[in-house]
Amino acid sequence: TRSTRPQRMLKAVQKKATKGDPESVISAIDYFCKHSEWAMNVGDEKGSILDSVVTEVNPSTVLELGTYCGYSTVRIARLLSPGTKFITLEFNPANVTIARQIIAYAGLQDKVTVVEGSSGDLIPQMKERFGITTFDFIFLDHWKDRYLPDIKLFEECGLLRKGSVLLADNVICPGAPEYLEYVRNSPRYESRYYPAHLEYTKVEDGLEKSVFLE
Ligand SMILES: Nc1ncnc2c1ncn2CCOCCNC(=O)c1cc(-c2ccc(F)cc2)cc(O)c1O
Ligand SMILES: [Mg+2]
């Protein structure tokens, strides 16, 4: 049967990238998406903004929602200090399998734990399953209509601390209007928009960075 796009993306990484070299894995995926098949990775333009925020925060605990094939997982993991706890959640088991292979090809398998499941189910389990008290940095890149319920879940589960940084992809395209309205109007967050474009296109999109103030 016909291969899937994530499977073809993994093949492109294995063919073009150098094992153990995260930069070459990132470049191989971006090349594949620009010249072969578009895919919903955060991409190079928004990825550079992600890099700068991760570097600025220098987090000890990180959560990513929506692993997909592991492109942003590799971008984040390559920047983390040794000993950082990094968890990424992916709903689709086929994507979990591909992501683990792409992350391992980059040599970053010891830096991150890929967990299969939905954010709504797993967020309340973070403390008991992973011994996390609070997250310093959270990257939201999963179902766009889960951004708002999940940020409220983070608050309810006591997973945010003063200064926790949330960075949300796709706040314009596909869009997360209710989330934007919430973080921009809540007194508990300081929010800033980083304009960019939908990965590998000229369509407007951007990232919203929100700092928890409580
Ligand atoms: N652990 C979890 N819990 C809950 N849900 C979960 C989960 N893990 C995964 N999921 C399910 C959803 O995962 C993928 C979400 N990402 C996107 O849908 C996405 C779409 C576009 C896009 C597509 C088509 C266009 F025309 C224009 C833009 C661009 C992007 O950058 C996107 O990120
Ligand atoms: Mg995205």
ipTM for this model: 0.98
Q: Which atom of ligand 1 lies closest to the CA of 203?
A: 27
Distance 166 CA to ligand 1 centre (A): 17
Answer yes or no: 141 catalytic: yes
Residues that place a CB less than 5 A from ion ligand 2:
141, 169-170
pLDDT digits (tens, 9 = 90+) for 76-108: 999 999 999 999 999 999 999 999 999 999 999
Q: Which atom of ligand 1 lies closest to the CA of 141?
A: 33
Position 1 pLDDT exceeds 90? no
Answer yes or no: 144 catalytic: yes
Instruction: Mention every residue, 6+ apart, whose C-beta is less than 8 A from residue 29.
Output: 9, 12, 13, 39, 41, 69, 71, 102
What's the mean pLDDT in 110-124? 98
Q: Which residue of 115, 143, 201 sits with most ligand 1 atoms within 8 Å of its CB, as the best mutation to test the pocket?
A: 143
How many CA atoms within 13 Å lie on the side-chain side of 38?
6
Nearest CA among 175, 199, 202 for reference residue 45: 199
6: enclosing H helix or E strand = helix 5-16
Distance 201 CA to ligand 2 centre (A): 13
Instruction: Mention every residue, 6+ apart, whose C-beta is less than 8 A from residue 152.
Output: none
**Average pLDDT of the chain?**
98
What's the mean pLDDT in 12-36? 99
Confidence of residue 184 (pLDDT cuts 50, 70, 90): very high
Q: Say if residues 209 and 191 touch (Cβ distance below 8 Å).
A: yes
The whole-number pLDDT of residue 5 equals 98
Which ligand is nearest to the Cα of residue 146, counting in written order?
A: 1
Position 174 pLDDT exceeds 90? yes
